[in-house]
Amino acid sequence: MSDSVNVLPARTPHKIFSPARVAAIASNTLLELVRLKVFYFLLIFALLIIAASGFTSVFELQFQGEFQILKDMSLGAMSIFTLLLSILTTSAMLPKDIEDRTLYTILAKPVPRVEYLMGKLAGVFLLLLISVLVMSAMFVAALYAKQQWAIAATMHNGALTPEQMHYGILDIKAHTFTMSLVPCITLIYLTSALMASLTLLISTFATSSIFTIFIATTAYFIGNVESVAREYYYSQTSVSQVAKIFLTALALFFPDLQLFNLIDDIVAGNAIATTLFLKTAGLGCVYVTVYSFVAYVIFAFKEL
Amino acid sequence: MRKHHVAALLIIALFGVAKFRFEQRLTEEHRAAYFHGARFQLSMRQQIGQSEFIAALSGFRSLVADYLWIKAEIAWEHTEYGRMALLFNNVTALEPRNTMFWDMSAWHMGWNASVYAFRNPKEPREALRVKAQREYFRIAEDFLLRGIANNPDSYVLYDRLGNLYKDKFEDHLKASQAYDKAATFPNSPSYEKRFAAYHLSYCEGHEREAYDRLVKLYKMGDNERLPTLLTRLNFLQEKLNIPADQRVYHPPEK
């Protein structure tokens, strides 16, 4: 008789919170989204950048104007695409999982609801991050190509003195890719992450995806004019009680998205101090945390 | 409404209260750093159209500004300068921190529109053509002054204002003052100081000051001893009757 005994591996005790489980859900979510061919929009973005580069030349603008339009169109397209991605993908997540019954399969296992939500959101954040990075790479490549073209044109301009040529090239470099574009791109990502967490919050109590998309889009528009409401509240002009209550409610319940819209001014040449950028980015992170937490509060007690 | 919905609403409301003042303070800090300077007015809504106005309000104001800028370029091709001025007003209102828009708006008005007004074949009376031309100079000056008010941290518009006073108003004193102001910025080109001194040398009553500044530039070395500087220095030496032994520059004998 053999002395060997079949030894089962020691069972690891179930953890209340497991980052590995969150990572597994996140990677699955990302994979699902990739299978939905959402990255096709990158092709449209690439075409748009190429078109923007050529389009600006048609109008015989000064090179500063051409760079300006290229940067505005590229960053504007990045904002629109990431916004659409964040709202559309997040709004479909919960309803799709309920419809496919995947949600029940996952929650029947010892996976807490908080992990499920965190994993889902992390998957969307990853998708947004990859999208922003790829779009940024395309944008920088287009900008660099245009910069080299403008420098070559300046150097071949016989009418310029060496001093004017020197300042001309410096001017071109100042109008193309500078480190100030990094906060711009970070803020685009943060805004989309904020919108994703807000959409997730809405989808936890929404009855359909369309309702979620509609409410999230409305929240985006309100968020962009919220600062006007707050300013009106603080203004010296007499404000009626009804208007005051309405404005306060707006400011309390909706995020001020204008605070994250510093791109236009940065592209125009405005430098942002590191502390100011960190404060703004920090506020974005707080929004994401609070909205995700509230989403969990609703989802934790939701009857499935 | 269930308990967890009430709890969620309460959390959002509490967070709203906490963020309310912080956001207002952050907005003020942004404003102090020259962000969010765009001003939306009802007149703009009427001029640019509803969809563009909504897009601008939704955080895409730079795209709307670019679109209006391209419209202004098309208006330029059709020599519609009045329409251009209107479009430039909207572009600069949407993008007040973009010095290029202020600069180019002023250039179009001061150089292109003014020349067109002066050569207007539909206006036979020269006095009216000159009047129209001067009005465009004033519009260009107004763009630059408003641009400077919105961008007090940039030398570019002071430089362009100097060019406008020099080339169009032919006001050398104002040109010199504008170049002087541009030269105070650490990143301004070295020629700003030179230009300020050159133009001061044309101003009656400022000859001595101009002479001192030209001498100072001359003593800075060969890089500054450019033909215009030497010509103006020689002119002032003669005008101020500087004794031969005190002159720093002796032009070659012809």
Q: What is the residue extent of each domain of chain A?
A: 19-300
Interface test mutation site (partner A, options B63, B92, B163, max chain A beta carbons within 10 A): B63
Lowest mean pLDDT among A157-161, A230-234, B51-55, B238-242: A230-234
Q: What is the CATH number of the domain that holds B222?
A: 1.25.40
Q: Which of B96, B71, B101, B65 lies closest to B84, judged by CA?
A: B71
Q: Write out chain A residues lying below 8 Å of B70, CB-based.
A: 59, 69
- Does A124 score more than 50 pLDDT? yes
pLDDT digits (tens, 9 = 90+) for B122-158: 888 999 999 999 999 999 999 999 999 999 999 999 9
Cα distance from B169 to chain A (closest Cα, Å)? 25
Q: What is the DSSP string of A126-167?
A: HHHHHHHHHHHHHHHHHHHHHHHHHHHHHHT-TTS-HHHHHH
pLDDT value of residue A59 = 59
- State the complex-level ipTM: 0.82
Q: Which residue has the higher pLDDT, A145 or B46?
A: A145
Give me the residue from A205, A261, A268 closest to B95, CB to CB: A268
Give me the residue from A72, A262, A300 closest to B66, CB to CB: A72
Q: Per the domain annotation, does B29 fall within a domain?
A: no
Cβ partners under 8 Å of residue A254, min gap 6: A219, A222, A223, A226
- Does A114 score more than 60 pLDDT? yes
Q: CB distance A298–B95 less than 8 Å?
A: no
Lowest mean pLDDT among A36-50, A262-276, B192-206: A36-50
Q: Per the domain annotation, does B104 fall within a domain?
A: no
For chain A, what is the mean pLDDT? 86
Its domain, for residue B182, covers: 158-249
- Does B39 score more than 90 pLDDT? no
Contact A225/B at CB under 8 A: yes
pLDDT value of residue A154 = 84
pLDDT value of residue B148 = 96
Q: Per the domain annotation, does B42 fall within a domain?
A: no
- Give me the numbers of helices (H) and strands (E) for chain A, helices first please: 11, 0
Widest Cα–Cα separation across chain A: 100
What angle (nearest 5°) sits at the alpha carbon of residue A284, between those of residues A213 and B35?
Answer: 105
**What average pLDDT score do residues A107-132 get?**
93
Contact A3/B at CB under 8 A: no
Q: Which of B72, B98, B15, B90 lies closest to A286, judged by CA?
A: B15
**What average pLDDT score do residues A215-226 get?**
91
Q: If DSSP codes are grouped into helix, strand and coil, which group holds residue A12?
A: coil
CA A267 to centroid of chain Cα atoms:
18
Q: Write out chain A residues lying below 8 Å of B106, CB-based.
A: none
pLDDT digits (tens, 9 = 90+) for B66-91: 889 989 989 999 999 999 999 999 99
pLDDT value of residue A5 = 58
- Does A277 score more than 90 pLDDT? yes
Position A7 confidence tier, pLDDT thresholds 50, 70, 90: low
How far apart are alpha carbons A204 and B11 in whole angstroms?
15
Q: Per the domain annotation, does B46 fall within a domain?
A: no
Lowest mean pLDDT among A86-95, A229-238, A271-280, B8-17: A229-238
Residue B231 corresponds to which amino acid? T
- Does A1 score more than 50 pLDDT? no
Q: Per the domain annotation, does B232 fall within a domain?
A: yes
Q: Per the domain annotation, does B196 fall within a domain?
A: yes
pLDDT digits (tens, 9 = 90+) for B167-222: 999 999 999 999 999 999 998 988 899 999 999 999 999 999 999 999 999 999 88
Cα distance from A99 to chain B (closest Cα, Å)? 23
For chain B, what is the mean pLDDT? 90
pLDDT over 90 percentage in chain A: 39
Position A293 confidence tier, pLDDT thresholds 50, 70, 90: very high
CB atoms within 10 A of CB A40: 9
**What average pLDDT score do residues A4-17 get?**
69
Interface test mutation site (partner B, options A61, A167, A265, A288, max chain B beta carbons within 10 A): A265
Reading phi first (left if > 0) and then psi (alpha if -120 to 50, else beta), residue A14 is in: beta
Q: Per the domain annotation, does B189 fall within a domain?
A: yes
Structure tokens at A40: 């096709």
DSSP letter, residue B155: S
**What average pLDDT score do residues A167-182 get?**
82
Q: Per the domain annotation, does B178 fall within a domain?
A: yes
pLDDT value of residue B102 = 95
pLDDT value of residue A136 = 92
- Does A60 score more than 70 pLDDT? no
pLDDT value of residue A217 = 94
Position B2 confidence tier, pLDDT thresholds 50, 70, 90: confident
CA atoms within 13 A on the CB side of A276: 21
Q: CB distance A230–B24 less than 8 Å?
A: yes
Q: Which residue has the higher pLDDT, A256 or A12?
A: A256
Position A180 confidence tier, pLDDT thresholds 50, 70, 90: confident
**What average pLDDT score do residues A173-199 get?**
90
Which residue in this structure is represented by tokens 């004794």?
Answer: B243
Reading phi first (left if > 0) and then psi (alpha if -120 to 50, else beta), residue A178 is in: beta
Instruction: Please tell me the total count of domains within chain B.
Output: 1
Q: CB distance B57–A225 less than 8 Å?
A: yes
Interface test mutation site (partner B, options A69, A71, A72, max chain B beta carbons within 10 A): A72
- Show which of residues 149-178 on chain A sit within 8 Å of chain B, judged by CB atoms: 163, 167
- Does B254 score more than 70 pLDDT? no
CB A68 within 8 A of CB A267: yes
- Does B42 score more than 70 pLDDT? no
Q: Which residue of A has its CA nearest to B151?
A: A270
- Number of Cβ pairs closer than 8 Å across A and B? 139
Q: Which residue has the higher pLDDT, B237 or A235?
A: B237
